[in-house]
């Protein structure tokens, strides 16, 4: 901040602030989060709180080490959100150290190693997710059926604390794979898709979130609700989400039509896993997405394309994390190539010419 002359215009301001923007994102996350906490009970609540608190602590530590004003940045909401989003992508009964480690990777390695707020190339939450997935494949893929808070099968407070501290190996939870995981495994064993899906939940539970999955990613409906809120408050633009959804629908639709026994239908693709969560809360991250509308369209489409390829042809059942990180790397290039057209100039930057007057 050196290039400041005497006080300059404008001498009035919209009132927008980083804190306000982050606050709106948080509000948008509330429905899906609340549902996740309800569906997976006390252990999820512990994990969520632990991860968020850890994120704030890591942030404070990083700021201190970097010599930045801790108070100013700690409460700008960005660390809170990062922690929150990391928590939402975790298996709901994962032990505490998964959350703390995830927050560490996201905040310290994903954000501050790049220079702090606004400087990171990769989405911190996705870095954390991929790091955890590769390092702890078992802990990170143990999902379970929802056990709503206070329902008969749900663990009590003490039990929940034990799950949080030691993991749920001791608790007789029927852990199961996510739908995408099940499909991948079964397809690998040569089962045809219709047979696999006939044993699964069906689309409606997938939409409302009555299925095994990450803490905050299961309820498609509530995620879309949050996304619409962000669109309405103009925190995000439609470009990336629409491009992502449309591309996935088109790709998976095409393949599904060609061979319904091998390729999942578009609805299942869109509703399962992290897809809608990413469409509204990950690819819309300001820092790691392109700046222009066209750039965002390319970015969203790219994420969907890579996700489809990874889900369908690679070893991982869910590909969004990788897809986002790969596309993050292309953002500087996209922003370099796709620029808004300057007033009075053609796309190539030459002054506009009119026919001889």
Partner 1 sequence: MKLFRISGGIHPKESKELSADRPIERLPLASVLRIPLQQHIGGPAVAVVDKGDAVKKGQILAVGRGMVSAPVHAPTSGRIVSIGRFVAPHASGLPGQTITMRPDGRDEWGELPAPIDAFGVDPAVIAERVAASGIVGMGGATFPSAVKLNLRNRHKLDTLVINAAECEPYLTCDDRLMRERTAEVVDGVRIMRHGLGVGRAIVAVEANKPAALAALRLAVAAGGFADVTVVEVPTRYPMGSEKHLVQTLTGQETPARALTADIGIVVHNVATAFAVYEAVRLGRPLIARIVTVSGGAITRPGNFEVPIGTPVSHLVEQCGGFRGTPERLLLGGPMMGQPLASTRASIVKGVNGVLALAAAEAPTGPIMPCIRCASCVAACPCGLAPFDMAARIRKEELDGAVRIGLLDCIACGSCAWVCPANIPLVQYFNYAKGKLTAEQRTKHKQEETKRLAKFRADRLEQQRKAKEEAMARMKAEREAKKRQAEAAARVEVEG
Contact footprint for partner 1 (CB under 8 A): 1-14, 16-18, 20-21, 72-73, 76, 78, 116-119, 237, 286-287, 289, 291-292, 335, 339-345, 351-354, 357
Contact (CB, 8 A) for 80 and 199: no
- The residue (of 118 and 170) whose beta carbon lies closer to partner 1 is 118
| Minimum distance, C-beta of residue 81 to partner 1, in the bound complex (Å) | 11
Give Cα 280 to chain centroid, integer Å. 8
Cβ count within 10 A of residue 68: 14
Q: Do residues 96 and 46 make contact, with C-beta atoms less than 8 angstroms apart? A: yes
As given in the structure block, the two tokens for residue 232 are 């309405």
DSSP state of 289: S
Say if residues 313 and 269 touch (Cβ distance below 8 Å): no
Whole-number minimum distance, CB 354 to partner 1, in Å? 7
Would you tell me how many other CB atoms lie within 10 Å of the CB of residue 10?
Answer: 6
Nearest distance in Å: CB 321, partner 1: 21
- Alpha carbons 222 and 224: distance in angstroms, whole number: 5
Provide the terminal-to-terminal Cα distance of the chain, rounded to the nearest Å: 47
* DSSP reduced 3-state for 175: strand
Q: Which helix (H) or strand (E) holds 143?
A: strand 143-144
Q: Closer CB to partner 1, residue 172 or residue 356?
A: 356
Residue 217 Cβ, how far from partner 1 at the closest point, in Å? 24
- The residue (of 16 and 174) whose beta carbon lies closer to partner 1 is 16
Question: Containing H/E element for 87?
Answer: helix 78-88
Neighbours of 277 (CB within 10 A): 26
- Closer residue to partner 1 (CB): 81 or 98: 81
The rounded distance, in Å, linking the Cα atoms of 92 and 17 is 32
Q: Smallest gap, in angstroms, from Cβ of residue 84 to partner 1?
A: 17
- Report in angstroms how near the CB of residue 246 gets to partner 1 at its nearest: 21
| Least CB distance to partner 1 at residue 203 (A) | 35
Please enumerate in sequence order all residues whose Cβ is within 8 A of that of 282, keeping only pairs 6 or more positions apart, or say none.
85, 123, 125, 126, 274, 320, 324
- In angstroms, rounded to a whole number, what is the distance separating the alpha carbons of residues 284 and 276? 11
Query: What is the C-alpha to C-alpha distance for residues 198 and 145, in angstroms, rounded to an integer?
Result: 17
Least Å distance, CB 283 to partner 1, is 14
Comparing CB distances to partner 1, the nearer of 262 and 341 is 341
In the bound complex, what is the minimum distance in angstroms from residue 226's beta carbon to partner 1? 18
Q: Which residues contact 232 (CB under 8 A, 6 or more apart)?
A: none
In angstroms, how far apart are the furthest CA atoms of the chain? 84
């Amino acid at each position: 901040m050196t290039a400041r002359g005497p006080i300059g215009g404008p001498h009035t301001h919209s009132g927008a602030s980083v804190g306000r923007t982050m606050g709106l994102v948080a509000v948008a996350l509330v429905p899906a989060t609340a549902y996740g906490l309800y569906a997976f009970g006390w252990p999820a609540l512990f994990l969520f709180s632990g991860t968020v608190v850890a994120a704030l602590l890591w942030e404070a530590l990083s700021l201190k080490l970097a010599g930045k004003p801790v108070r100013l940045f700690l409460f700008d909401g960005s660390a809170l959100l990062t922690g929150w989003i990391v928590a939402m992508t975790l298996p709901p009964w994962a032990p505490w150290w998964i959350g703390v480690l995830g927050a560490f990777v996201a905040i310290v390695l994903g954000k501050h190693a790049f220079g702090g707020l606004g400087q990171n190339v990769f989405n911190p939450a996705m870095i954390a997710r991929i790091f955890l997935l590769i390092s702890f494949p078992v802990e990170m893929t143990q999902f379970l059926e929802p056990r709503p808070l206070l329902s008969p099968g749900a663990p009590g407070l003490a039990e929940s604390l034990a799950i949080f501290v030691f993991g749920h190996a001791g608790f007789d939870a029927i852990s199961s794979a996510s739908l995408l995981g099940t499909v991948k495994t079964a397809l690998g064993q040569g089962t045809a898709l219709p047979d696999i899906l006939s044993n699964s939940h069906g689309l409606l539970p997938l939409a409302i979130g009555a299925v095994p999955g990450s803490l905050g990613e299961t309820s498609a409906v509530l995620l879309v609700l949050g996304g619409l809120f962000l669109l309405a408050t103009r925190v995000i633009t439609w470009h990336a989400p629409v491009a992502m959804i449309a591309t996935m629908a088109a790709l998976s639709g095409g393949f599904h039509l060609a061979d319904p026994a091998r390729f999942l239908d578009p609805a299942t693709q869109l509703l399962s896993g992290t897809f809608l969560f990413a469409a509204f809360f990950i690819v819309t991250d300001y820092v790691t997405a392109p700046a222009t509308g066209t750039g965002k369209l390319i970015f969203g489409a790219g994420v969907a394309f890579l996700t489809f390829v990874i889900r369908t042809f690679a070893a991982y059942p869910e590909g969004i994390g990788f897809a986002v990180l790969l596309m993050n790397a292309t953002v500087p290039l996209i922003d370099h190539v796709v620029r808004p057209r300057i007033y009075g100039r053609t796309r190539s930057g030459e002054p506009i010419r009119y026919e001889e007057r």
